[in-house]
Amino acid sequence: MENPGYHNVEPLLEEENPLDWVRRGIAFMLEDLASMVGDLLDPSLEGKSRHEKGEVAALYRDALIWWAMSIHPLRARHWYGARIDWEGLDRLDQRGNLYRDPEGRYHLLYRPEEFKNQHSAVFRHQGDRPLLFPLDEDLPPSRWRWEGSATA
């Protein structure tokens, strides 16, 4: 059976670097966001309604997720199953999937058992230690200051 959706993305896959399209989409999101809050590293929410603040928070979230997926192409279930353990954010033995190291850098944190190939040779050297995927490449989200968001 032919997948009609494939033909929509086929031209992108023929590009030398298909992820450039994703990065351009992220850039458009950030332009929209800047038009709403000004400086992305020091957003202004003065005069914004609760609804507008929610829109800004959702756009920050979406841009961050798309950016993270473009630098760490994990399986979909890793993304939609990700959790943040705010109380354990600074611990490697936490239950969540976001870790802040002692230098204040953020990482995605996954345990070997969260991968379908956990018993393969790829993970033998890892033991029970979690895998860390740094989030400080190209566009450091740890510098995106977001205070008082209505939603996250």
pLDDT score, position 47: 92
What whole-number distance in Å separates Cα of residue 57 and Cα of residue 119?
A: 39
Take residue 64 and report the two structure tokens written for it: 């961050």
99 vs 20, higher pLDDT: 99
pLDDT score, position 18: 76
Contact between 149 and 59 under an 8 Å Cβ cutoff? The reply is no
Q: Find the largest Cα–Cα distance for the chain.
A: 55
HSE value, Cβ hemisphere, 13 Å, CA-based, for 47? 3
- Residue 104 clears pLDDT 80, i.e. is over it: yes
pLDDT score, position 50: 93
pLDDT score, position 149: 35
What whole-number distance in Å separates Cα of residue 133 and Cα of residue 71?
A: 9
With b for 16 or more beta-carbon neighbours within 10 A and e for fewer, the 89-121 pattern comes to eeeeebeebbbeeeeeebbbbbbbebbeeeeee
pLDDT, tens only, 22-66:
778 888 888 888 899 888 777 888 999 999 999 988 888 888 888
User: Which of 3, 14, 121, 22 has the alpha carbon at shortest distance from 70?
Assistant: 22
- Residue 118 clears pLDDT 50, i.e. is over it: yes
What end-to-end distance do the CA atoms of the chain give, in Å? 40
pLDDT score, position 3: 64
Q: Residue 106 region, left (φ>0) first, then alpha (ψ -120 to 50), else beta?
A: beta
pTM value surpassing 0.85: no
- What percent of the chain lies above the pLDDT cut of 70? 85
pLDDT score, position 72: 83
Take residue 86 and report the two structure tokens written for it: 């705010």
Take residue 62 and report the two structure tokens written for it: 């979406």
Taking each continuous run of H as one helix and of E as one strand, the counts in the chain are: 5, 3
97 vs 149, higher pLDDT: 97
pLDDT score, position 128: 79
